[in-house]
A and B are shown apart, each in its own frame.
Chain A
Amino acid sequence: EVQLVQSGAEVKKPGEPLKISCKGSGYSFTSYWIGWVRQMPGKGLEWMGIIYPGDSDTKYSPSFQGQVTISADKSISTAYLQWSSLKASDTAIYYCAFGELYFDYWGQGTLVTVSS
């Protein structure tokens, strides 16, 4: 069974770092792009960036370039999304998803809450 399992909900303070994860199983992790999508409370989907775990080629939306880092560890079939310094405006659900370039399969989402 194809699955993407994301790490659990996080509550952080502004300025703190964070790294969330997304573990793939049931498919060839190194053969498909895996991406991250933000959904702020009550809002639409925002495409953040994608990584090809086979060679670590990474592409970012201009809106998120420099704000987050996307990485992957193919030895454990896991992709990551990280922040060096969170802001309150980073409060959102973050989905990982994979596919050819469109997203066939999605994780369950990780809720990140940033509040002082």
Chain B
Amino acid sequence: DIVMTQSPDSLAVSLGETATINCKSSQSVLYSSNNKNYLAWYQQKPGRPPKLLIYWASTRASGVPDRFSGSGSGTDFTLTISSLQAEDVAVYYCQQYYTTGTFGQGTKVEIK
């Protein structure tokens, strides 16, 4: 099974500043035949189901603000939240869907 490891476990960022979350997979999730990274990012707010933010490592889901961006390839990925807003306080998860599926342990984002 592919293990997904996120860092940090939590971070506090000032309003308007940038939050950066890293996700590392234990093996590559890049499928060579289509050159796609099988990696998604989700946001979960307390008491709510998760919400898809990013898929194929860098494609924003419908309706997701452009301050959310995903990057990376192979085994190392990053979710960047530019100009952090109060409503971005949440736990963020990466997920690989290259083989079955695995989530990272989550990163809690708070306001400093």
Contacts and interface: CB of A to CB of B under 8 A. Distances in A.
Interface of A: 35, 37, 44-47, 49-50, 59-63, 95, 97, 99-104, 106-109
B40 A47 contact: no
B1 A106 contact: no
B65 interface: no
Given A37-B103, A44-B106, A102-B97, 17 more contacts: A35-B101, A44-B91, A44-B104, A45-B44, A45-B93, A46-B103, A47-B100, A59-B100, A61-B1, A63-B1, A95-B50, A97-B49, A101-B38, A101-B97, A101-B101, A103-B95, A104-B52
A44 to B, nearest CB: 4
A106 B52 CA distance: 9
28 contacts: A35-B101, A37-B50, A37-B103, A44-B91, A44-B93, A44-B104, A44-B106, A45-B42, A45-B44, A45-B93, A45-B103, A45-B106, A46-B103, A47-B101, A47-B102, A49-B100, A50-B100, A59-B100, A60-B100, A61-B1, A95-B49, A102-B40, A102-B97, A103-B40, A103-B42, A103-B52, A104-B52, A109-B49
B38 A61 contact: no
Select the residue from B1, B49, B51, B102 with max chain A CB neighbours within 10 A. Answer: B49
Contacts of A49: 100
Interface of B: 1, 38, 40, 42, 44, 49-52, 55, 61, 91, 93, 95, 97, 100-106
Given A45-B44, A109-B49, A102 B100 contact: no
A50 B106 contact: no
A101 B101 CA distance: 9
A47 B38 contact: no
A97 B38 CA distance: 17
B103 A106 contact: no
Contacts of B97: 101-102
Contact of A44 (B1, B61, B101, B103): B103
A61 B44 CA distance: 22
